[in-house]
Amino acid sequence: MSDAALDVVEFLLTASLYNDNRELDENDLPPRYRQVFWPDGAPESTDRDRPGSDNSPLGIERPIRPTIETARRATGVENPWSAISGLMFSDRDEFSGSLELTQPDMAEEWFLDRGEERILHNPVLAYAFEGEVDGADYEAARDANRPVQADRAWIDGLLSQYFADEEEEEMLDLVDIRAPEEIETTLDDLVLTEDQESEIHKIVKAIEHREYLAQIGLREIGKLLFVGPPGTGKTSTARALAYDLDLPFVEVKLSMITSQYLGETAKNVEKVFEVAKRLSPCILFMDEFDFVAKTRASDEHAAIKRAVNTLLKSIDNISLIQDDVLLIGATNHPDQLDAAAWRRFDEIVNFPKPDAGMRSDILRLITRPMDIVDFDPDELAEETEGLTGSDLRMVLREAVLDALTEERTALTQEDFVDAIKDFEERDNLKDLDMIEGDHDALVAGGDISGSGGASADGGHSHDH
């Protein structure tokens, strides 16, 4: 029997058993199944209530009814009915497109003979067959299942419910909210220093033991500040942490709080924190944190200063232990932070430019899927002193594109050496204050009143 038939039968069996066992809740449905049963409306929720709790209505109502379309979306099988039409215990309603198991006992027996391994990873099946199938452990399967709060559908539903009117919806433009499934980087994809790994390990333990920390009164924990030059992995690490912990990721660039309606700016800051609390547990990532200190030291509009003061108070009033929100700030300019900004964080995590050993590891990591002749990352690491992880990705991009112009997908060490030279030449343009010679001959049209230097943005300002 094909894997397609197993996929579809597992889906139908899960739906049937979920309907029959009221002790199960949405967190027991595998995410790939859960996403096809979310209602069009927003799931009902309060600040603290979560699906499956006694005082929170479920977002997915029973009974869940598998159809050809939901089976296709949940399993990836293009023709679900064709995959199972030859089985004696399956049927479909041609009018509604619904699929069903006409003889559940026979379906279970059939599945147990062929898909026993799948039961270990599906909480609904682990619940039904615990004690019957070796290794089936309901609690373990549930713990390994991504929680419902990490689903894109749950996030969108909650936001549409909370920010119902058009004016409040505009506030969401200030934040970038990602479900864990939408983050492409994991911690295994990053090369971190020992200090970075140690701090991440500590915060993971703090999240796991929040109740204990609250019990002993240790509440001032869970506010990290990432400092380091652009391209050293601050944003990528924060996102990867969200992926690995199955937490929604709420990102805000602090320079964006300067609303066109200045009177709304402080209110918008408060809303950002309300979003995070609504989506908790989550990670709230605040980039460009040096904006706080710059604003406090300048003659900015009074409304902007009020917004910054509101921001600092909001940071004081949010907690990993009480609110389930991990706050991570990031800055490329730690020298611009004042004492008021520094003291808001209980841990400072340094993101320096990578040394030769780290550069070599980064090159090995980012070239894993590639075919490279005579590849020597240690040699390349020696040639890339001062480059960040983001810079090394740009070098890789250059090497790949140059090879493709020669109709090659297999790269050589020489491709990388040439790409490093090209990158350094382009990077040197950042240091040009003036281009000697006839400026009018170099610049098409327009008045020349300043320097002829070229911007080297090209991705350098983004963490990878």
List, for residues 316-359, the tens digit of each pLDDT value: 999 999 899 999 999 999 888 888 888 889 999 999 999 999 99
Q: Write down the pLDDT at residue 258.
A: 61
Same domain, 186 and 313: yes
Q: For residue 261, tell me if it sits in a domain.
A: yes
The enclosing domain of 415 has a CATH number of 1.10.8.60
Nearest Cα neighbor of 328 from 239, 224, 233, 255 is 224
- DSSP letters, 55-92, are TS--SSPSSP--BHHHHHHHH--S-HHHHHTTSTTEEE
Angle CA 144–145–150, to nearest 5: 125
Quick one: average pLDDT of 25-32?
Answer: 93
Question: Are both 91 and 195 inside the same structural domain?
Answer: no
Number of domains in the chain: 3
Expressed as residue numbers, the domain containing 244 is 163-350
Q: Flag the least confident range among 58-62, 124-128, 441-445.
A: 441-445
**In the structure, what pLDDT confidence band is assigned to residue 55 with cuts at 50, 70 and 90?**
very low
Do 181 and 263 lie in one domain? The reply is yes
Indicate whether 224 and 339 sit together in one domain: yes
Same domain for 32 and 79, yes or no, is yes
Mean pLDDT across the chain, nearest whole number? Answer: 84
Instruction: Tell me which DSSP letter residue 40 carries.
Output: S
The verdict on residue 153 lying in a domain is no
**19-50 per-residue burial string, b: 16 or more CB within 10 A, e: under 16:** eeeeebbbbbbbbebbbbbbeeebbebeeeeb
In the 8-state DSSP scheme, what is residue 189?
G
Report the alpha-carbon distance of residue 337 to residue 148 in Å, rounded: 38
With respect to residue 155, please indicate whether it lies within any of the assigned structural domains.
no
Least confident range of 190-199, 213-222, 292-301, 406-415: 292-301
The answer as to whether 269 is a domain residue is: yes
In this structure, are 55 and 180 located in the same domain?
no
| Whether residue 66 sits in one domain with residue 176 | no
Predicted local distance difference test score (pLDDT) of residue 437:
46
Same-domain pairing of 284 and 376: no
Alpha-carbon distance 279 to 151, whole Å?
Answer: 11
| CATH code: domain of residue 244 | 3.40.50.300
Pick from 157, 143, 7, 19: which is nearest to 74 by CA?
Answer: 7
Same domain, 316 and 191: yes
* Boundary residue ending a domain (306, 324, 350): 350
Residue predicted with more confidence, 165 or 155: 155
Indicate the DSSP class of residue 174.
G
Give, in order, the Cα–Cα distances in Å from 19 to each of 29, 67, 232, 355: 11, 15, 49, 56
244-280 pLDDT per residue, tens: 999 999 998 877 766 555 556 777 788 889 889 989 9
Say how many CA atoms lie within 13 Å of 454 toward its Cβ.
10
Mean pLDDT over 271-299 rounds to 82
Is 459 within the bounds of a domain? yes
Write the pLDDT tens digit of every residue in 366-376. 999 999 999 99
Residues 116 and 21 in one domain: yes
On whether residue 156 sits in a domain, the answer given is no
